[in-house]
Amino acid sequence: MERGAVMARPVDHERRARLLEAAGDYVIENGLSDLSLRPLARELGVTTTTLVHHFGSRDQLLTAIIGQVRDRMRQAVDLRSARDADPRALITRAWKWLSDPQHAPLYRLLFEIYGNALQQPATYQPFLAHIVDDWLDILTVAFEADGDDHETATAKATLAVAAARGLLLDLLTTGETGRVTAAFDIYMTALGGNRGAEANG
């Protein structure tokens, strides 16, 4: 090492994880549109230097926050732990969690990120790479286990993801729980299913 060189201070990964959790809470509450390091650091009780040390630039911090929020949503609904379950049960379980009013701030943030990602795909590429596939893959496997061929299973899974997100956007926009829930119930009835057909055969 050259004389006078300063060794970089190593990142404290446990502290980084705590800061990321708190930053996720902040963004869920306040959104992304005005996110900057100074007010975020003030809210977290640290300096901007601390944030830069643990995350790098604002864009790197943003990427980490989005990934952390995505993981929260995926783990909370936890479809992956029930890959062999009836796809209709999976969709219903997911919808009950998605439509719970206490989760509204999280999903308002999801749609904000979605809009930003479509405008800036290069910046938000990790988000776009997973936001559909996370659930599409799980539901495709479930529909295949239910007796559908791969093409049909993929189409049903695609429709399920699109329907749930469209209805959720409607619910967040209007707050009309009864109307949106009735629409979801009609969708589920129309979806039918191989197991239901066998039971009624």
- State what percent of residues in the chain have pLDDT above 70: 87
Q: How confident is the model at residue 5 (pLDDT cuts 50, 70, 90)?
A: very low
Average of per-residue pLDDT across 68-76: 77
Q: Report which of residues 46 and 69 the model is more confident about.
A: 46
Residue 32 is encoded by which pair of tokens?
Answer: 């992304």
Are the C-beta atoms of 166 and 187 separated by less than 8 Å? no
Structure tokens at 14: 């446990």
- In this model, does residue 45 exceed pLDDT 70? yes
For 94-129, the pLDDT digits (tens) are 899 889 999 898 888 889 888 988 998 888 887 888
CA-to-CA separations, 185 to 97, 99, 107, 176, 188, in angstroms, rounded: 15, 13, 21, 14, 5
End-to-end CA distance of the chain: 78
Alpha helix stretches (DSSP H) within the chain: 13-30, 37-44, 48-55, 58-77, 87-98, 104-119, 125-130, 133-145, 150-174, 177-191, 194-200
Instruction: Show me where the domains of the chain are located.
Output: 11-76, 84-192
Mean pLDDT throughout 80-90?
A: 71
Amino acid letter for position 64: A
- pTM for this model (two decimals): 0.76
Mean pLDDT (whole number) for 56-62: 85
Percent pLDDT > 90 in the chain is 35
Burial of 154 (0-12, 13-18, 19+ CB in 10 A): middle
User: Confidence band (pLDDT; 50, 70, 90) for 30?
Assistant: confident
CA nearest neighbour of 135 among 183, 172, 168? 168
159 touches 133 (CB < 8 A): no
Residue 153 confidence (pLDDT)? 95
Six-digit token string for 120: 């800036």
Q: Is the pLDDT of residue 150 over 90?
A: yes
For residue 12, what pLDDT is reported?
Answer: 77
Residues in the chain, overall count: 201
- Higher pLDDT: 179 or 121? It is 179
Highest mean pLDDT among 61-75, 130-144, 166-180: 166-180
- pLDDT level of residue 47 (50, 70, 90 thresholds): very high
Check whether domain 11-76 has CATH 3.40.50.300, yes or no: no
Q: Which pLDDT does position 126 carry in this prediction?
A: 79
Categorize the per-residue pLDDT at 200 as very low, low, confident or very high, splitting at 50, 70 and 90. very low
Residue 125 sits at φ, ψ, to 5 deg, of: -55, -45
